């Protein structure tokens, strides 16, 4: 009870702070740019979303099958290789990846998407592997023992039971991706980073906030959308409520 | 009928987990595989549905060599129950119970009927549990559902790997009784792994004792208790094997051997009434607990006589030793 009260108070304080910041910035006319240059804003917003959506999509369709592959008994030996490569990728700063992508692919949309894609792989791969590996071996033994084929075990037992960590990995990747995509400006990839960096260079709060706040809201929105998708995808049986006893 | 013929399992190059095991399990019987951990009992069980490969020898289920069958088909035709029930947490109770019929693509009507029948059999309300998930059930209920799942496609043979091992003693004993009742009705051929001699005596028509991968003795419970073949079996069944064997005999058996005492004149002593179906181990326990000097025995609600400790002792000498 006490804990809930504390968390409520903290939430309330944060909410008030955020709201007063909004009120202040709004009153100061910092978002005027969005209205004045609505066309430019929408162009950058779509560009931003496009980058994020494409790179996240590519990361998902590569990382999940990769995670499935390295958890098959046959390919178990490959697991360390994939995980370490992905881990290494994550240790390189996002800016460096962008720079590396640029040396190879030049400037523009492509290197930005490629760098974002690489950066999104690890959280999804790691969670897919961890999710599948954390499944109770008894379940797999039971499934095998009653005559599921390996493909049925994967589709009906492993993936549904690992759905929560996999979705959490996707959520982490997408949210980080939205923030990182602001750096795409540096390789000429466009997106809302254009306004943020312009704002930084010109010390113009109006540009800065008209770029930064939509990016923040986009990240929050994506987080909520993916959480909603989780509720649809993850079986109710995996969300333990009250346990019953005999 | 299940036949093991010179079955051997070797891991790696030399670790013999199961060593030249041969015996037969008659149709409709429960045979309990008993032994300390690592004795090969679970491996022997898992070779029947080929969760473990057979290194040497053959296993026949109803006359067919299991190695000659497609392993997926084979498993769908053999019920399988494990210790921690192995229910799929992502599926509802109905989907769990109907897992094998779903694999076999039964039609909806047949599945619904079968589900209702099975749930009634294990004593859970079909409609109340249909849309619930395993985590909402108690351990005992989950284990019952695990048994229902194994019986779903009505397989003639069931493999049970310490099915009641994770339950507390009260629930375990209750489910054991329920299961024996279900077995009276369904008459499956069942292989049952246990490490508990009391459970083996209670559940088994036959007991196979393993040690170091070898089959030490395969006999009926009473035979095993009365005539252990070697030192290992003698030790494993325990010093109190005479006492344990009493649980296989009822007061009725005692009456068929010797007359009961007259139940008159002694009514002023503290007394306790039991039925002729009571097993002798329980009867003896009551006498030893000094709940009564003698027990009044009833058959069909009629007093037929009285018994004392000496009667049990005499029966034991005459019949069991």
B156-173 per-position pLDDT tens digit: 999 999 988 888 888 888
The b-or-e profile of B9-32 (16+ CB within 10 A means b, else e) is: beeeeeeebbbebeeebeeebbbb
Contacts of residue B261, defined as CB under 8 A and 6 or more positions apart, other chains included, come to B294, B305, B306, B307, B308, B311
Residue pLDDT, tens place only, A72-116:
988 888 888 888 887 887 788 888 888 888 888 888 889 999 999
| Predicted confidence band of residue A161 (pLDDT cuts 50, 70, 90) | very high
Tell me what percent of the residues of chain B surpass a pLDDT of 70: 95
pTM of the model: 0.81
Q: By the CB < 8 Å criterion, does A152 face chain B? A: yes
How many residue contacts between A and B have a Cβ separation below 8 Å?
Answer: 88
Tell me whether A245 touches chain B (CB under 8 Å).
yes
Q: What is the mean pLDDT of residues A222-229?
A: 94
- The pLDDT of residue B225 is 85
Q: Please tell me if residue A151 touches chain B, with a CB cutoff of 8 Å.
A: no
Direct distance between the N- and C-terminal alpha carbons of chain B, in angstroms, rounded to an integer: 32
Q: For residues A25 and A42, what is the distance between their CA atoms, to the nearest angstrom?
A: 20
Segment 119-158 of chain B within 8 Å of chain A by CB: 133-141, 149-150
Give the A window 214-243 contacts with B, CB below 8 Å: 235-238, 240-243
d(CA A115, CA B105): 46
Cβ–Cβ under 8 Å, residues B224 and B233 = yes
Question: Does B135 contact A240 at a Cβ distance shorter than 8 Å?
Answer: yes
By the 10 Å C-beta count (0-12 exposed, 13-18 middle, 19+ buried), A131 is classed as: buried
Rg (alpha carbons) of chain A, rounded to whole number: 22
The pLDDT of residue B170:
86
Q: What is the mean pLDDT of residues B130-135?
A: 93
First to last CA, chain A: 28
Is A141 touching B (CB cutoff 8 A)? yes
pLDDT given for residue A245 in this prediction: 38
Q: CA-CA distance, B258 to B241, in Å (whole number)?
A: 23
Q: Which of 67-86 (B) contact A at CB < 8 A?
A: 72-77, 79-80, 82-86
Q: Is the distance from CB of A121 to CB of A170 less than 8 angstroms? A: no
**Cβ-defined contact of A146 to B80 (cutoff 8 Å):** yes
Helix (H, G, I), strand (E, B) or coil at A241: coil
Residues of A in contact with B88 (CB under 8 A): 139, 142-143, 156-157, 161
Which carries the bigger pLDDT value, residue A59 or residue A87? A59
Which of A141, A146, A246 minimises the CB distance to B76? A146
Rounded average pLDDT over A173-200:
91
All residues at 6 or more sequence positions from B106 whose CB lies less than 8 Å from its CB, including other chains: B98, B114
Cα angle vertex B182, ends B246, B128, to 5°?
130
Would you state the pLDDT for residue B287? 82
Q: Of the ranges A41-45, B183-187, B304-308, which one carries the lowest mean pLDDT score?
A: B304-308
Nearest CA in chain A to B133: A237
Q: What is the CA radius of gyration of chain B?
A: 22
């Amino acid at each position: 009870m006490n804990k809930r009260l504390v968390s409520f108070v903290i939430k309330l304080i944060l909410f008030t702070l955020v709201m007063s910041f909004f009120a202040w910035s709004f009153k100061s006319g910092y978002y005027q740019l969005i209205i004045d240059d609505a066309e430019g804003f929408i162009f950058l917003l779509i560009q931003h979303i496009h980058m994020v959506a494409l790179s996240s999509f590519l990361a998902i369709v590569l990382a999940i099958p990769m995670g499935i592959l390295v958890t098959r008994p046959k390919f178990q030996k490959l697991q360390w290789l994939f995980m370490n490569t992905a881990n290494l990728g994550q240790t390189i700063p996002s800016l460096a990846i962008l720079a590396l992508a640029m040396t190879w692919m030049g400037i523009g949309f492509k290197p930005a998407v490629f760098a974002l894609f690489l950066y999104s792989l690890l959280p999804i791969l790691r969670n897919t592997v961890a999710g599948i590996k954390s499944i109770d071996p008894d379940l797999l033994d039971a499934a095998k023992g009653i005559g599921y084929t390996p493909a049925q075990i994967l589709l009906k037992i492993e993936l549904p039971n690992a759905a929560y960590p996999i979705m959490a990995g996707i959520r982490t990747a997408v949210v980080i991706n939205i923030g990182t995509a602001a750096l795409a400006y540096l390789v000429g990839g466009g997106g809302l980073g254009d306004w943020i960096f312009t704002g930084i260079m010109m010390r113009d709060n109006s540009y800065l906030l008209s770029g930064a706040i939509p990016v923040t809201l986009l990240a929050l929105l994506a987080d909520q959308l993916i959480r909603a998708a989780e509720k649809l995808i993850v079986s109710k049986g995996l969300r333990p409520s009250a346990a019953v006893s005999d | 009928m299940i036949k093991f013929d010179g079955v051997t399992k070797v891991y790696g190059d030399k670790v013999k987990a199961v060593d030249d095991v041969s015996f037969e399990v008659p149709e409709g019987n429960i045979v309990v595989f008993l032994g300390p951990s690592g004795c090969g009992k679970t491996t022997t069980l898992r070779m029947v549905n080929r969760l473990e490969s057979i290194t040497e020898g053959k296993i026949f289920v109803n006359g067919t060599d299991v190695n000659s069958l497609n392993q997926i088909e084979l498993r769908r035709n053999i019920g399988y129950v494990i210790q921690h029930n192995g229910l799929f947490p992502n599926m509802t109770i109905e989907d769990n119970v109907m897992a094998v019929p779903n694999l076999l693509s039964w039609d909806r009507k047949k599945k619904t009927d079968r589900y209702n029948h099975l749930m009634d059999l294990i004593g859970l309300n079909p409609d109340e549990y249909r849309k619930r998930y395993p985590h909402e059930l108690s351990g005992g209920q989950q284990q019952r559902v695990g048994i229902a799942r194994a019986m779903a496609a009505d397989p003639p043979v069931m493999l049970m790997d310490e099915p009641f091992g994770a339950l507390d003693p009260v629930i375990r004993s209750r489910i054991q009784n329920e299961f024996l009742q279900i077995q009276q009705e369904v008459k499956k051929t069942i292989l049952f792994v246990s490490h508990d001699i009391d459970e083996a005596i209670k559940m088994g028509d036959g007991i196979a004792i393993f040690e170091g991968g070898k089959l030490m003795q395969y006999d009926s419970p009473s035979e095993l208790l009365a005539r252990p073949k070697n030192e290992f079996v003698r030790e494993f069944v325990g010093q109190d094997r005479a006492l344990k064997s009493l649980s296989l005999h009822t007061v009725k058996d005692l009456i068929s051997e010797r007359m009961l005492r007259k139940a008159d004149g002694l009514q002023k002593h503290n007394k306790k009434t039991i039925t002729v179906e009571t097993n002798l181990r329980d009867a003896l326990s009551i006498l030893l607990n000094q709940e009564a000097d003698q027990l009044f025995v009833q058959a069909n609600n009629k007093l037929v006589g009285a018994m004392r400790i000496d009667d049990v002792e005499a029966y034991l000498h005459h019949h069991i030793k």
